[in-house]
Amino acid sequence: MSNNNKLVSNVKLIDKGIFFMLVSAMLGSLSGAVAKVLSDTMDPIEIVFYRNLLGVFMILYSFKKVQLSISFNISKSHLLILRGLFGTIAMVFYFYTIANIPLGEAVILNKTSPFFVTILAYYLMKESISINTIFALIIGFIGIFFVIQPFDLVISTDHILAILGGFFAAAAYTTIKKIKDIYDARVIMLSFMGVGTILPLLIFLFTPYADFKIHTGFFVWSLIALMALLSTVSQWFLTRAYSLSKASIIGVIGYSSIPFAVGFGVMLGDSIPDMLTFLGIGLIALGGILVSRK
């Protein structure tokens, strides 16, 4: 009887994790659509700064309303900083690419993260790779080829940055699994958004990068607030999903963001993907699912 109860409990956790990931995917894609609209008037690093600044205030307010359930452990604080750094770099690349390529393509190339996790685990952690996993990686990278379509031998820098965004997103997600039992989900989110606020500010203050502006328009700030709200809630659902269910299951469900992103992108004026792009999207999704299920 106890084994049956344990099985039912595990199924409920998986179901809740899947639901949370679906909600995260939809809200994340909608947040990307809002960012694409904002990119007409704001620089991508500005978007990262404002999005995270408002997100920090939201998380701090949640601390005031609800007490932390897990005490702070300073010995693992470096992992929080790394999660924030990797996540911020991934976000900068993501916002840059959605401003320059169709939203659906930016999202699917960002979803190459499972491939990088597998490859890094092989080289850095000496994890074995089965023949099936190698086959899945080949499928995924063929899909990337069809999305980029470098048939004229000129590879788009925007697409390369989108793939790099996937690489840093993989590094960020990996740290979540290492610290999920140590820190409250809001602490993990705060580390991400705190670094995502400080790093762009340092870039504006100490580099020749000079595109930062103080925006006062109501419409712009309404979009910034909406984007911050959507992405903050999406991050919470994402963090909870990875905490409740196996990463392999959640990684597969994460690909539901692709149809959301393609749909929102078309609504904003992106052209409908051609057949080669659709083929590439399908292959990347298939490769990612197979890798996640290894």
pLDDT tens digits, one per residue of 62-93: 777 665 554 556 767 777 888 889 889 998 99
Residue 195 in any domain: the answer is yes
| pLDDT at position 247 | 67
Task: Spell out, as residue ranges, where the chain has pLDDT lower than 70.
Answer: 1-14, 65-73, 75, 120-127, 150-155, 177, 210-211, 247-248, 251, 292-294
Query: What is the domain count for the chain?
Result: 1
Confidence (pLDDT) at 27 = 92
pLDDT at 172: 80
Task: Give alpha helix (H) positions in the chain.
Answer: 2-38, 44-65, 77-100, 103-110, 113-124, 131-148, 157-179, 185-206, 218-244, 247-253, 257-267, 275-292
Contact at 8 Å (CB) between 143 and 281? yes
Please answer whether residues 228 and 58 qualify as being in contact, where contact means their C-beta atoms are separated by less than 8 angstroms.
yes
Q: Is there a contact between 288 and 111 (Cβ–Cβ < 8 Å)?
A: yes
pLDDT of residue 33: 92
> How far is the C-alpha of 267 from the C-alpha of 44, rounded, in Å?
21
172, part of any domain: yes
Residues 6+ apart with CB under 8 A from 281: 104, 108, 143, 147, 258, 262, 273
- Measured between alpha carbons, how far is 262 from 270 in angstroms, rounded to an integer? 8
Asked if residue 125 is part of any domain, the answer here is no
Distance CA 235, CA 24 (A): 7
Domain for residue 126, yes or no? no
For residue 66, what pLDDT is reported?
61
Q: Is residue 42 part of a domain?
A: yes
Domain that includes residue 230, residue range: 2-118+154-272
Is 250 inside any structural domain? Answer: yes
Closest listed residue to residue 249, CA positions, set 1, 15, 81, 48: 15
pLDDT at 197: 92
Look at residue 218 and tell me if it is in a domain.
yes
Residue-level pLDDT at 231:
80
Residue 174 lies in a domain: yes
Taking the model in full, what pTM does it have? 0.76
Q: Within a 10 A sphere around the Cβ of 244, how many other Cβ atoms?
A: 20
